[in-house]
Amino acid sequence: MADYKIYLNDSEIPRQWYNLAADLPTPMLPPVGPDGSLVPPQAWEPLFPKAIIEQEYSKERWIDIPDEVIQILYRWRPSPLRRAVHLEKALGTPARIWYKDESVSPAGSHKPNTAIPQAWYNKQEGTETLTTETGAGQWGSALSFAGSLLGINVKIFMVKISFDQKPFRKMLMEVWGGKCVPSPSQETNAGRNFLAMHPDTPGSLGMAISEAVEAAVTSPGGKTKYALGSVLNHVMLHQTIIGLEAKKQLAIAGVKNPDVVIGCAGGGSNFAGAAFPFIQEKINGANIDIIPVEPASCPTLTRGIFAYDYGDSAKMTPLMPMFTLGHEYVPAPIHAGGLRYHGMSPLVSQAVVEGLCRPMAIHQSECFAAALKWANTEGFIVAPESSHAVAAAIREANIAKEEGKAKDIFFCLSGHGNMDLLGYHKHMTGQLADYALPQEEIDFAEKVVQNHPKAEMRKSGRW
């Protein structure tokens, strides 16, 4: 009988992270200021500890994972690789569907993979408090969990609409000692300005980032820093433990490289974590179809503009080269599936520019229908974000069926949805409509970025 669950022993956990920046055929453009001048590493020091900044700029292919970090990750890592045999059977597909189960972490998602090292490096350099933003609450709870283990206070600005709709995530943050306020808030200049301009705003990740950055840089004494849960290079780096473990597990199952690799993409970190080790294989000649999946309501990679843009709405961060819907983007409240950030990781963006990935956008009704199919075959309740990857895996398994090919499809199940049942309920009771981002909003994004330094799309032409 084939194995449906593949575990690694603790001793087989990867000891190094993989840095795609070392292998990208065309290097990424650097972060810049509004006048186009390069942002030197020191400019990030009010926000991040030096070790993290070093990783942000590093071109080393392999970076050691500190042993103390590994000891903490052992609480749930290595995570299982599972095969979705029941779904395969229900679909009647000859494809094998493999998935890395990141829902087994204490916070219920992949986010602790970077929360732990970020908190650890901060602790080494004397940080006492970390500020951050959170959308649906997964990242805020992951950082609260990390702060609780490492003795760091955590202050979270949570996008207002989620704060109101997801009280359990807020409680979870509080269980681990995190302090959570709805954003925009009255606590920062940025928050007060957003509220003065748009008193009824549902909030956005861009706004919450502005508040968290401001709270860190204006706090006296330099012992308060900021932590970001996605987008930046060091976050992508920490998440590669997912794909590195998966490679070992797939090899045990006799799969050298899967035919298809899928991850949902908000800021890009679980996709990057699962996919970058396979992108390395692709750069070295393997034939792998690598798919980041995003919501049709927030189509950063499929319809966004490749430009230099700010990471936050109040323009406090440096400008980064990325696919973006413009830093002023506010997501439509009708979308329940998460993944609502205006930008995309510069590393993921460059991999897309290079043609190494094939982005896909899917509407939320198809995603929730896929999540229900998953719940009624495999049994687990996936996060609305992860449902995008499930929907894409089902699409690819159906294509394999039409082609009569026994493909290996691998995807990252980034988190469980046990606290997201409201979205499921709304879908099942017909309260969710599909929403494609109107073209006017893309046109507006063009205007938002038009006076930013120009980001040239550079690629090798190999893919």
Which of 93/302 has CB closer to ligand PLP?
A: 302
| Residue 196: count of CB within 10 angstroms of its CB | 9
| Residue 458: count of CB within 10 angstroms of its CB | 14
CB distance 255 to 323 below 8 Å: no
Which of 31/135 has CB closer to ligand PLP?
A: 135
Give a three-class secondary structure readout of 249-265: HHHHCCCCCCCEEEEEC
Which of 135/407 has CB closer to ligand PLP?
A: 135
CB distance 235 to 269 below 8 Å: yes
E strands of 147-285, at which residues?
153-159, 179-183, 224-226, 260-264
Query: Quick one: DSSP state of residue 32?
Result: B
Which of 8/264 has CB closer to ligand PLP?
A: 264
Least Å from the CB of residue 421 to ligand PLP: 14
Least Å from the CB of residue 73 to ligand PLP: 17
Nearest to 340 by CA among 310, 295, 304: 295
Which of 32/390 has CB closer to ligand PLP?
A: 390
Least Å from the CB of residue 449 to ligand PLP: 21
Contacts of 104 (CB under 8 A, 6+ apart): 76, 79, 80
Least Å from the CB of residue 395 to ligand PLP: 18
Which of 262/339 has CB closer to ligand PLP?
A: 339
Least Å from the CB of residue 137 to ligand PLP: 8
Least Å from the CB of residue 267 to ligand PLP: 4
Which of 87/301 has CB closer to ligand PLP?
A: 301
Which of 181/383 has CB closer to ligand PLP?
A: 383
Which of 93/105 has CB closer to ligand PLP?
A: 105
Please report, as a single letter, which amino acid is at residue 203: G
Q: What is the chain's length? A: 463
Three-class DSSP category at 35: coil
CB distance 364 to 335 below 8 Å: yes
| Residue 189: count of CB within 10 angstroms of its CB | 12
> The tokens of 237 are what?
């780096």
Which of 230/317 has CB closer to ligand PLP?
A: 230
Least Å from the CB of residue 193 to ligand PLP: 25
Indicate the burial class of 370 (C-beta count within 10 angstroms; 0-12, 13-18, 19 or more). buried
Nearest to 57 by CA among 66, 48, 65, 46: 48
Exposure letters 229-242 (e unless 16+ CB within 10 A, then b): bbbbbbbbbbbbbb
Least Å from the CB of residue 424 to ligand PLP: 14
Least Å from the CB of residue 162 to ligand PLP: 10
Site of interaction with ligand PLP (CB under 6 A): 109, 135-136, 138-139, 230, 264-271, 338-339, 383, 385-386, 414-415
Element (H, E) at 150: helix 138-150
Query: Quick one: DSSP state of residue 429?
Result: T
**Distance between alpha carbon 451 and the CA centroid of its chain, in Å?**
28
Helix axes 384-403, 364-375, angle to 10 degrees: 80
Nearest to 332 by CA among 450, 202, 459: 202
Tell me how far apart the alpha carbons of residues 55 and 66 are, in angstroms, rounded to a whole number.
13
Least Å from the CB of residue 345 to ligand PLP: 8
Nearest residue to ligand PLP by CB is 415
**Distance between alpha carbon 231 and the CA centroid of its chain, in Å?**
7
Least Å from the CB of residue 344 to ligand PLP: 8
Which of 216/275 has CB closer to ligand PLP?
A: 275
